[in-house]
Amino acid sequence: MDRKNHPRSTRNSRREKKKHIFTKKIAFASILGVSFILICGGVYATYAVQHKHDEVNEVEEDNQYEEKETALLEKIRKAQKQEVLESSEQEKIDGNIQTLIYEPVATDIIPQLPEIKTELTALIEATKKNSSKETPIKIIGRVKADKINEQVIGYLPAVDTYTWDQEKEDWSEKTEVGKNTAYVNKKTKQPLTLQDIFLSEANILAVQQVVQQKLLDESSDGNAIIDAVLNMPNLSLDKTTFTYYSDKISLNLPDNSTGKNEITLPYKDIAGYVNPEFVDASFIKDVLPAPLDPNKKYISLTFDDGPNPETTPRLLDILKEKGVKATFFMLGQNVVKHESLVQRVAQEGHEVASHSYSHPQLTGLDAQRVKDEVQKTDKAIYHAIGKLPTDFRPPYGAVNKDVAAIIGKPIIQWSVDSQDWQSHNAQAIIKRIDDTAYNDTIVLMHDIHPETVDAVATVIDHLRGEGYEILPSKELLGKKAKPLHMYYGSKDERPVQ
178-221: pLDDT as tens digits: 998 999 999 999 999 999 999 999 999 999 999 999 999 999 99
- Who wins on pLDDT, 139 or 39? 139
Give Cα 167 distance to the centre of its chain.
Answer: 42
Residues in CB range of 441: below 8 A, 6 or more apart: 299, 300, 414, 415, 416, 488, 489
pLDDT of residue 282: 85
Chain segment 144-156, per-residue pLDDT in tens: 998 888 899 999 9
Kindly report the number of other CB atoms within 10 A of residue 206's CB atom.
25
Whether 372 is catalytic is no
Averaged pLDDT for residues 43-58 = 55
- Structurally, at CATH architecture level, domain 194-283 sits in Alpha-Beta Complex (3.90)
> Which of 243-247, 323-327, 346-350, 372-376 is least confident?
243-247
pLDDT of residue 333: 98
Averaged pLDDT for residues 306-334 = 98
Whole-number Å distance between alpha carbons of 481 and 266: 19
Q: Identify the active-site residue in 350, 446, 449, 485.
A: 446
Q: Identify the active-site residue in 160, 304, 420, 447.
A: 304
Q: Are 143 and 162 in contact (CB under 8 A)?
A: no
Domain boundaries, the chain: 81-180, 194-283, 297-495
Domain 81-180 shares a fold with domain 194-283: no
| CATH label, 81-180, candidates 3.10.290, 3.40.630, 1.20.120, 3.30.565 | 3.30.565
Whether 355 is catalytic is no
Output the CA–CA distances (angstroms, integers) from residue 401 to 485, 486, 497, in the order listed.
9, 11, 5
Q: Residues 129, 131, 137, 142: is their CA dihedral positive or negative?
A: negative
For residue 10, pLDDT beyond 50: no
For residue 1, pLDDT beyond 50: no
pLDDT of residue 289: 85
* pTM score of the predicted model: 0.80
pLDDT of residue 288: 83
pLDDT of residue 3: 43
CATH number at 297-495: 3.20.20.370
Chain segment 424-457, per-residue pLDDT in tens: 999 999 999 999 999 999 999 999 999 999 999 9
Which among 214, 216, 217 is positioned nearest to 249, based on CA atoms?
A: 214
Chain segment 458-492, per-residue pLDDT in tens: 999 999 999 999 999 999 999 999 999 999 999 99
